[in-house]
């Protein structure tokens, strides 16, 4: 199967007062349509920078980003973020506090016909289990419910690719795990392709089909959760994975339907 998203040897740097600082180095990955990928790594390794580059907010120093075979970014050329068909969901929800759940979800659909918009919002409320909360306001919802609204809003315009930056990190541990499984179920139901960024291994194993273990601006191994566990390419990956192995095994068992 051909990949929907391709990062082809991308490199990124930030301009600082001290000069150009390389942050992402020669990073490549391919993600099939309908798959959920995850960038996993310690703070500062460059995960968010990669996501921002896919969204179109950071220019590339080298390499190319392709979506559905079309080049989105290469040095000196960028498709504008609003023309990429890429949706985003971030850790701080970024919901509009003065709009109801229903209106938050419909926010990106203003240019669509009214009947289509109403039908789409209804579908998304059902998909995210928020039917009873359509008229409520963000401050009246729990953190987990707010994140489900944020997911519904990101999915509403039918993006080709969804980017999730540490979407669960503001939630307590129990909610975070439950929501990770719920989000996976929702994305699988709708067939969306997504890339998630996290430093939390349990979250990565709960949600992802493919995980990229990052170290100092590059991917050390891009593999299935099974592959990372059983065939780590070096000691760094092996140690990194071992640290939360118990949690990861639980998540895998859940996904195989062997645990509740
Ligand atoms: N606008 C910027 N200007 C200069 N340096 C930056 C900028 N944004 C990020 N950096 C640096 O680039 C590196 C990678 O940052 P990035 O946010 O991509 O890491 P991350 O892996 O997502 O970290 P975290 O898990 O803490 O969010 C860090 O060293 C960071 O300090």
Q: Is 42 exposed, middle or buried (0-12, 13-18, 19+ CB in 10 A)?
A: exposed
Tell me what the mean pLDDT of segment 183-189 comes to: 90
- With a CB cutoff of 8 Å and minimum separation 6, the contacts of 83 are none
Q: Which residue has the higher pLDDT, 16 or 167?
A: 16
- If one counts every other C-beta atom within 10 angstroms of the C-beta of residue 99, the result is 15
Residue located nearest, by CA, to atom 3 of ligand 1: 14
DSSP bridge partners of 5: 31, 67
CB 236 within 8 A of CB 220: yes
> Is pLDDT above 70 for 249?
no
43 lines ligand 1 (CB under 6 A): yes
Give the global pTM: 0.87
45 lines ligand 1 (CB under 6 A): yes
CA–CA separation, 234 and 65 (whole Å): 27
Q: By C-alpha distance, which of 205, 212, 181 is closest to 24?
A: 212
Give 202-244 pLDDT, tens digit per residue: 888 889 999 999 999 999 999 999 999 889 999 999 888 876 5
Looking from the CA of residue 16, the nearest atom of ligand 1 is 4
Tell me what the mean pLDDT of segment 51-77 comes to: 96
CB 34 within 8 A of CB 192: yes
The per-residue pLDDT for 168 is 81
Q: What residue spans define the domains of the chain?
A: 94-158
> Is pLDDT above 70 for 43?
yes
The per-residue pLDDT for 220 is 96
* CA triple 90-93-97, angle to 5 deg: 150
The per-residue pLDDT for 178 is 80
Q: Is 154 exposed, middle or buried (0-12, 13-18, 19+ CB in 10 A)?
A: buried
Mean pLDDT of the chain: 89
């Amino acid at each position: 199967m051909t990949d929907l998203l391709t990062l082809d040897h991308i490199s990124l740097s930030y301009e600082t007062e001290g000069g150009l600082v390389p942050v992402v180095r020669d990073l490549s990955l391919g993600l099939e349509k309908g798959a959920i990928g995850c960038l996993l790594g310690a703070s500062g390794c460059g995960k968010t920078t990669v996501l921002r580059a896919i969204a179109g907010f950071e220019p590339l120093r080298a390499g190319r980003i392709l979506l559905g075979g079309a080049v989105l970014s290469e040095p000196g050329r960028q498709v504008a973020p609003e023309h990429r068909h890429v949706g985003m969901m971030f850790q701080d929800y970024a919901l509009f506090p003065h709009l109801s759940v229903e209106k938050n979800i419909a926010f990106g659909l203003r240019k669509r016909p009214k009947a289509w918009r109403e039908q789409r919002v209804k579908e998304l409320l059902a998909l995210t289990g928020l039917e009873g909360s359509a008229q409520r306001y963000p401050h009246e919802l729990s953190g987990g419910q707010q994140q489900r609204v944020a997911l519904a809003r990101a999915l509403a315009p039918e993006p080709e690719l969804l980017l999730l930056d540490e979407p669960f990190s503001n939630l307590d541990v129990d909610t975070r795990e439950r929501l990770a499984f719920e989000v996976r179920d929702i994305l699988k139901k709708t067939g969306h392709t997504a890339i998630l960024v996290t430093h939390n291994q349990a979250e990565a194993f709960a949600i992802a089909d493919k995980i990229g273990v990052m170290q100092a601006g590059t991917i050390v191994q891009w593999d299935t959760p099974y592959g990372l566990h059983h065939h780590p390419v070096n000691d760094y990956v092996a140690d990194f994975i071992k640290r939360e192995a118990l949690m990861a095994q639980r998540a895998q068992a859940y996904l195989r339907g062997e645990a509740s």
